[in-house]
Structure 1
Amino acid sequence: MEITDLTPAERRVWQAFPLGEGVDFRESPEVRESPEDDPGTGGSWGPERTVRAEVLRALLLNGPTEDGEIAGMKLTGARITGCLDLMYGTVEQPVRLRSCHFDEAPNLYGAQVRTLALGDSVLPGLKAGTLRVESALRITCCRIAGPVRLAGAQITGAFFANGAELGTPHDPGAPDAPDPETAAEAVLQLNHAVIGADVWAPGLVAHGQVRMNGATVGGQVNLDGAEVGGGPGEIALDVETLSVGTDLRAKRLRARGTVNLSGARIPRHVNLAHARLSHPGGTALRASSCVVGELWLREAAPIQGTVNLRRSQLDLLYVSPEVWPDQVKLDGLGYRRLAPDLPAEQRLPLLERETTGYLPQSYEQLAAAYRTVGDEAAARTVQLAKLRRHRRTLPAYARIWGHLQDVTVGYGFRPMRAAGWLLVLLLTGAVAFALHHPRPLKSDEAPHFNPVFYTLDLLLPIIGFGQESAFAPDGRYQWLSYLLIATGWVLVTTVAAGITRSLSRQ
């Protein structure tokens, strides 16, 4: 391309490129939000700030250079017509196209660039699958109506999407609603991408799915204050099998659809503090088979939809009881500690919400978490609740025996109950037999009658004081003696079962 074929605006860009100088077409560059410089209205900009994409392509692939100067594309406030097609191309110079309006989606599929910054620009889309970036890729504060395709991209530095707005609000009833198949495509596609530093996207607004499944991020993923989902697809944030070097931050996240963390590997924090997760009738949070350091849902809004944490391994789980939804899936979930510190009675109702019914492992895991912090009383409360829940699954005859163990000694977790029952029965029998002495079987051989030890002889089937064998009550007192004997056997048997269970736990 010859310089004589260029418009005055394009000639400015051509002359600035070999010197690495910037060209700013904005009418009021000193005013940050000048209406006439809004890239959203860039389709009406005239030839004085219009540059053809083919001119930029010619510069980036084979532009002029100056000895002793570092060439570079630094363009601000331009309207770029045509398709900037750099497919499979290699661009040695940094590319900065800020506050620009693109008539067509750039095509950078398979390209190699040093750095690419599109901050504050408006684009109909971005085709950049398998893109290679030596430094950073920035779409900060961009407004991109179509999908941003970065699947398989390799970015040595960081990816910046803070403040960007991707996709368009979904309105199925609108006369110009997009095709459902096109609308269902993820608006941000970073699946299987490799990013050396961070994914920095606080304040991101994605009117559709954000997909990062299978991606590898060397630093952290920051989605603080982001809004994702709301399109026709069920998944709002898909980070399945994501591998992160440090944290996944998503404080104040607003997700309309499933947040899918299945199989993710995040060594430090998944921070969903103050988040709002909503997928009524579906799964709001799927974090099954994860390995996560700490999962935080501190002061989050009540989750609308099912939570699936099956087979995940966590060091710390921070969730208040009021955050949990009506249905949860906790089979195989392992955690070492729970926060905030709460009594067992406030956490036990969660285990009743398991969709598959009674799961002994969930109770054992909760009890183990209380033992980890040294709260043995809470651990015993959980174990007792487990046995009561298990009792509901037994046949009627087994439930009767379970009720006896529960009422008498609390399945061995409340041993002082047995002492209380024994004391009540002892006092009852001692008073009754003190008022009405049973007749001696052999008057000349019978010992002196003692109502207390006679009652103990009836209650304790193992220990004998010689009273029961020497005296025989009659009438209603005989029935009282039968009741004391039967009750004593029940107490002794349940106490023995409780002791055995306690020893087996230890």
Structure 2
Amino acid sequence: MEITDLTPAEHRVWQAFAVDGGVDFRESDDEDPAAGALWGPERTVRAEVLRALLLNGPTRDGETAGLKLTGARVTGQLHLMYGTVDHAVRLRSCYFEQSPNLYGAQVRALVLSESVLPGLTAGTLRVDVVLRITCCRIAGPVRLAGAQVAGAFFLNGARLGTPAAPGGPDAPDPSDEATGEPVLQLNHAVIGADVWAVGLHAHGEVRLNGATVGGQINLDDAELHASGGTALHAETLSVGTDLRAVRLRAHGRVDLSGARVPRQLNFAYARLSNPGGQALRASSCVIGELWLREVPPIRGTVNLRRSQLDLLHVPPQAWPDQVRLDGLTYRSLAPHLPAEQRLPLLEREESGYLPHAYEQLTTAYRAVGDEAAARTVQLAKLRRHRRTLPRYARAWGHLQDTTVGYGFRPMRAAGWLLVLLLTGACAFALEHPRPLKPGEAPDFNPVFYTLDLLLPIIGFGQEGAFAPQGWYQWLSYLLIATGWVLVTTVAAGITRSLNRQ
């Protein structure tokens, strides 16, 4: 392109490029670039001029060239497909008539902050320093699949996609992105530092499947709308440190299946909603700490199957009516609560009775030294298992539960022993059993005679010296049988206590 073909506005940009000079066409700092379609030729730059500058623009010895343009209307398509740009590209507060095409391009830095675009095609883009679309408004899809950014990716405050139709935040849009193309495609991208998306507004799916982020992902105060679909799709995502989503508003499924987050996955104060489907899917994940602190009740199923966590920080009231916890393992729970407040969650398992879920909760309580809570969980496990047994087995289980709490309530067994002791002592006091050898039998003592029947090991010389008759004989049989069961239960409880010490 000959320089004589340039308009006055384009000539200013051309001259400033060689010395990395900035050209600002704005009339005021608070000007809205959404009105860029009405801007006149005095601030209009053709995309082909920008392309010529970036690929073969003038340079000066001792100067660093670069494109630094603010408040311009860019007509035509900025086509840099497979191009190599050795300069920084900064197009702030600009209005693009057509979606730029940077597919397969390599640039030094790309900054489109506060600009308005119909879309952005930049799959497999390579950025040497930083990529910024901070506060951009982009109606169409942002295609960055397979992109490689050596530094950070900033999209804080960006608005992507078309807002939902009237009728509330969860109202379905006739052109709902749940069935269309994701508004942000960052799948299989490699980001060297952080992804900074604080305050992001996305009307459609945000896709990060297979992406690798060297630092953290920050979605604090973001709003993701994809009612009936997937709001955040991040299967097998790998994060270097944290994934923060404090005060996130997600209307649609948050899918983190297979993700790796070595430190915190923080959903504190977030609102997760996908009625009739999965609100949070974090199955087969490896996560340091999962935080759902101060979260209102989640609307939709939570799926944590086969995930591995060091810390699970979830108050009981945050859990939805249905969960999937099969194979979930964790080292500790927070906040520390009585077992009675944690157990209702295990009743919400979609698959029904899962022994592993009870064993895992027991292990977590024992890890912090709360043996009483661990016993409560084990007792609840046996009671839950009882409901899966045939009727005759359930009857035996009810008897075990009532009498000795399946062995986890040894003091209850001691109480039954006392009741039986009083019953036997009173019964045999009314009618003494006959002595087997009248001349050699010791004096009869109803209390010690009953103890002889109840205690299988200790002997007071009464049981072998007297023989009850009639129904007293059947009473003695009952005392012997129940004594064995109850004394064994008490001994087992004492043994567990000594082993813990």
Instruction: Name the TM tier (shorter chain).
Output: over 0.9
Q: Does 1:60 align with 2:71?
A: no
Contact 1:288 1:309 in 2 (8 A): yes
Q: Does 1:350 align with 2:332?
A: no
Aligned length: 496
Cα distance in 2 between the residues matched to 1:16 and 1:297: 51
Contact 1:229 1:237 in 2 (8 A): no
**1:110-131 Cα shifts (integer Å, max 9, x gaps):** 0000001000000000000000
1:10 maps to what in 2?
A: 10
CA RMSD of superposed structures (Å)? 2.3
**1:230-259 Cα shifts (integer Å, max 9, x gaps):** 256x11111110111111011001111111
**Alpha-carbon deviation of 1:438?**
3.2
**Alpha-carbon deviation of 1:442?**
4.3
Moved more, 394-403 or 37-46: 394-403
Q: Does 1:129 align with 2:141?
A: no
* Counterpart mapping for 1:400-411 below 5 A: 400-411=395-406
Q: Does 1:166 align with 2:160?
A: yes
**1:328-378 Cα shifts (integer Å, max 9, x gaps):** 111111100100111111101111111111111111111111111111111
Contact 1:259 1:284 in 2 (8 A): yes
Cα distance in 1 between the residues matched to 2:286 and 2:44: 51
* Counterpart mapping for 1:24-423 below 5 A: 24-29=24-29, 33=30, 37-171=31-165, 184-230=180-226, 234-423=229-418
Contact 2:411 2:490 in 1 (8 A): no
Q: Does 1:20 align with 2:20?
A: yes
Contact 2:176 2:204 in 1 (8 A): no
Moved more, 108-117 or 386-395: 386-395
**Alpha-carbon deviation of 1:303?**
0.7
Moved more, 483-492 or 274-283: 483-492
Percent identity over the alignment is: 79
Cα distance in 2 between the residues matched to 1:78 and 1:93: 19
**Alpha-carbon deviation of 1:389?**
1.2
**Alpha-carbon deviation of 1:46?**
1.0
Moved more, 109-118 or 366-375: 366-375
Contact 2:178 2:230 in 1 (8 A): no
**1:445-500 Cα shifts (integer Å, max 9, x gaps):** 33211011111233234544342343344565455434433432443465577789
Alignment TM-score, normalising by the size of structure 2:
0.94
CA 1:502 to 1:260, structure 2 compared with 1: closer, same or farther past 3 Å? farther
Instruction: In structure 1, give the amino acid aligned to 2:127.
Output: V
**1:359-401 Cα shifts (integer Å, max 9, x gaps):** 1111111111111111111111111111111122122222232
2:170 maps to what in 1?
A: none
SS of equivalent to 2:398: helix
**Alpha-carbon deviation of 1:19?**
1.7
* Structure 1 unaligned residues grouped into runs of 5+: none
Contact 1:105 1:126 in 2 (8 A): yes
Moved more, 104-113 or 162-171: 162-171
Cα distance in 2 between the residues matched to 1:359 and 1:60: 62
Contact 1:412 1:499 in 2 (8 A): no
Cα distance in 2 between the residues matched to 1:91 and 1:172: 43
Alignment TM-score, normalising by the size of structure 1:
0.93
**Alpha-carbon deviation of 1:146?**
0.3
